Amino acid sequence: MSRAWLAMPLVAACASTPPKRELVVWPSPPDVARIRFERAFGATPDIEAPSFWSKLSDALFGKSAPSVALKQPMGVAISDDESRLYIADYGLGKVVLVDFAEQKMSVFAPDEPMGKVFNVGLDHQESVYVTDVEGVIRVFSRAGEPLRRIGAGQLKRPTGLAIDRRLGRVYVADRAKGDPNEHRVLAYTLSGEFLFFLGPKEGEPGSGANDGSFFFPTYVAVAPDTSEVFVADTLNFRVQVFDSAGKFVSKFGSNGDGPGAFQRIKGLAFDAFGNLYVVDGLHSNVQIFNRTHQTLMYFGGYAKKLEYFDIPSGITIHPKSNRIFVCNEYIARINVYELINTKPEDSTSHSAAAGP
């Protein structure tokens, strides 16, 4: 494996006058930095840059709009133009919309009931798909108008979801509360027609540790170029891979604390090079795997510093800029990182063995 990809993080102070915020990158020199911390935010003041006149107006007449603060962010999705970030906040029971262009943070569709939201995804029209753990996927237009409900009467306790724009599908992880035998992942069309359960190559889908079975599946991701489905099989301590027909292909991971091992798998996302990012809520880090499931590196870790994590959960990556957004569930903020100094060949098996 590449020393550059597996090295430990660096916290290096930038020497300049006046002093700047510390630059935090992973890995450390002499290896090439791959991940750079950009910013973190958790409330309206972190996003908005009010003018002098708006500050004066607020002082004289009070704020015209209430401040929004995250409470328990679990899932996140970024628009194609990277100007809008949708955050599923379980604690608020709402989706929070961050408009970077307008420098505003607000509650999305504030008058619409959303139940107990867990995750959020976007289709090619930027329709917003929201999992409600009370048993349904709610779909809204970009303007916040309710469009349809998916899985009502079939879903028990849906958590993570993923949109396959190529095939026009939504995949959702589901488990029945209090029922150890109902751990499953379902596929629907974007219009809401049920397609199939993900499962083994042969036999019926079910719960457990066998290939194609699940024990507390939580998050899902779809490889954009192949439509393979990757499932965070959380309490089996592994990621399982399925083809576009829902049949088991492969798996990787084990229970542990070394490279390629997990203790509490959460969010999954792909970068522009096809590498898979796997969030571990207990390790408080993100591991990166190439297409052959080799561990390339990790970033993050637990620390009481802005750039690190405390029970991270959902993740999304913009497919062009490779900007990475990670939910910090416990401390209620979004951390933003960027993949840097990386080319497609840096993720191949040759690079993983010899370094770029």
Give the span between the Cα atoms of 28 and 2, in whole angstroms. Answer: 13
Instruction: Write down the pTM of the prediction.
Output: 0.89
The CATH number that applies at residue 243 is 2.120.10.30
Q: What is the pLDDT of residues 52-62, one digit of tens each?
A: 545 554 555 45
| Residue at 343 is within a domain | no
DSSP secondary structure letter of residue 30: T
Asked if the model's pLDDT at residue 13 lies above 60, the reply is no
Above 90 in pLDDT, residue 349? no
- Look up residue 258 and give its two tokens: 């070394």
Q: Within a domain: residue 249?
A: yes
> Which of 354 and 120 is assigned the larger pLDDT?
120
pLDDT digits (tens, 9 = 90+) for 107-160: 999 999 999 999 999 999 999 999 999 999 999 999 999 999 999 999 999 999
Q: Residue 141 corresponds to which amino acid?
A: S
pLDDT at 17: 40
Let me know if residue 26 belongs to a domain: no
Is 262 a member of any domain? Answer: yes
**Within a domain: residue 11?**
no
Rounded to an integer, the average pLDDT of 212-234 is: 97
User: Per-residue pLDDT averaged across 342-351, rounded?
Assistant: 76
Mean pLDDT (the chain) is 88
Instruction: Express each pLDDT in 148-200 by its tens digit.
Output: 999 999 999 999 999 999 999 999 999 987 776 789 999 999 999 999 999 98
Give 15-69 pLDDT, tens digit per residue.
334 445 678 999 988 899 999 999 999 988 888 665 554 555 455 545 555 689 9
Which residues neighbour 96 within 8 Å (Cβ) at sequence distance 6 or greater? Answer: 68, 70, 73, 86, 87, 89, 105, 106, 107, 108
In a domain, 260, yes or no: yes
Q: Which residue has the tokens 């709009």?
A: 65
pLDDT at 55: 53
Total structural domains within the chain: 1
Calpha distance 84→100 (Å, rounded): 6
Closest-CA residue to 304 (of 324, 278, 333)? 333
Could you list the residue range(s) of the whole structural domain that residue 125 is in? 40-49+68-338
Residue 66 neighbours by CB distance under 10 Å: 9
123 part of a folded domain: yes
Range with the lowest mean pLDDT among 42-46, 259-263, 337-341?
A: 42-46
d(CA 303, CA 300): 9
Q: Is residue 244 part of a domain?
A: yes
For 285-297, write each residue's pLDDT tens digit.
999 999 999 999 9
